[in-house]
Each structure stands twice: as structure tokens, then as C-alpha cells.
Amino acid sequence: MEDVRIKDKTFTPYIGEADLQHRIKTLARELNEVYLDKHPLLVPVLNGAFLFTADLIREMNTGPEVHFIRVSSYGNEMTSSGNMKVPLGLETEIRGRHVIIVEDIVDSGYTCDYLMDYFQSFEPASVIIITLLYKPASHKGKYKPDYVCFEIPPEFVVGYGLDYAQHGRELRGIYRLKA
């Protein structure tokens, strides 16, 4: 893997494709055991979680349903704006379901807090958060993610669904901002 240039910034390889795929397979195996016969409802948060979700569900054998939602984004900046919109696109019954919120990355944790409270208000059978990446040093929220593929330092990353100013989502690995 080589450095990539996105707009005004340079990003350097951080987590390779093989490591991502291997970790996602082991996570799917864990979820397959926990959600055996439960037909979980996966709720991935657009846009960042689309590749993670695509790879994860192809390793799941619990008959998952998938309903993508969208909340507010970072815009084109590299820090959280903090203002959260109502999730868009959720038109399915939540009550009594086993909900798995799927995030690309948990940073401040405010998005997760908002979504956890939102989903709990519909009385699901259970609700958890899974995330590809987690920055524990940046976390300020109430809820920690229940399953994490990789803990990372509080640095800005792109690739495998994550963007910098809407670019870099197509990269097969994760890259971090070069100092």
C-alpha cells in the first residue's frame, strides 16, 4: 500500500484489506452465535458503514434484515458538528426486534448516544452498537460500542467507506492522516 493524496491532504496506509476482512469474519462468527435464531435487524448508518455492512452480512447466517439510515454528518470538516438530525429512512417495526446499529467509526460517541436513545424508545427486544473503528480517547458519550473491530488512536482516517470531504470511500484499506 502506498500513500494517497486526497484534496489537500496525504494519508498513509494503516489497516490493510486482509486484516479488515479477517477481523470482520471473526466478528460475524461471534454475532452468528449470539443471534442464532434471532433474525437481527441491522441498522447501518450511511454513508460510512456501507462497505463494512456489505462484507459483514455475507458472513452472517442468522437471516439478518438490513435497513440503512442516515443521520447528520461531519459535513466536509474533520470534527463533529454535534447537531444531530432525526434518522431518515427507517420504516420498519422496531418493537420486539433485536437491533444492531452498525457504525463505521465511533469518535465522540454522540451519534451512538442519540441512536441508542432513539431506538430504545421503540421498545426493541435488544439493541447494541457494533463498529468497525473506535477511538476510545475521543469518546465522551454514555454508551460504549458493544463490539469493536479495531480500536485506533484519535487520528483522522479514511477508506473502506470512510471519507475525507466525500473522497476516499473506495479505498480497500484504512489510511490515516499523515503528520
Q: Which of 37, 107, 117, 163 is catalytic?
A: 107
Rounded (10°) angle between helices 50-57 and 17-34: 60
Q: Is residue 55 flagged as an active site residue?
A: no
Among 43, 69, 103, 175, binds ligand IMP (CB under 6 A): 103
CB under 5 to 8 A by kind: which of Mg ion, ligand IMP, none does 134 bind?
none
Among 104, 143, 145, 174, binds ligand IMP (CB under 6 A): 104
Cis-peptide into 47, omega within 30 deg: yes
Question: What does the alpha-carbon distance between residue 110 and residue 144 come to, in Å, rounded to a whole number?
Answer: 10
| Binding flag, residue 72, ligand IMP (CB under 6 A) | no
Question: What does the alpha-carbon distance between residue 47 and residue 152 come to, in Å, rounded to a whole number?
Answer: 20
Which of residues 48 and 109 has its CB atom nearest to Mg ion in the complex?
48
Q: Near ligand IMP by CB under 6 A, which window of 19-27, 32-40, 52-60, 151-159? A: 151-159
Question: b/e map of 84-98 (b: 16 or more CB within 10 Å)?
Answer: eeebeebeeebeebb
| Binding flag, residue 159, ligand IMP (CB under 6 A) | no
- The answer to whether 174 touches 14, Cβ cutoff 8 Å, is yes
Question: One symbol per residue from 105 to 124: x for binding ligand IMP (CB under 6 A), - otherwise; what is it?
Answer: xxxxxxx-------------
Binding positions for Mg ion, 39-58, rule CB under 5 A? 45, 48
Question: What does the alpha-carbon distance between residue 68 and residue 46 come to, in Å, rounded to a whole number?
Answer: 6
Which of residues 55 and 104 has its CB atom nearest to ligand IMP in the complex?
104
- Coil, helix or strand at residue 53: helix
Which of residues 4 and 103 has its CB atom nearest to Mg ion in the complex?
103
Contact positions vs Mg ion (CB under 5 A): 45, 48
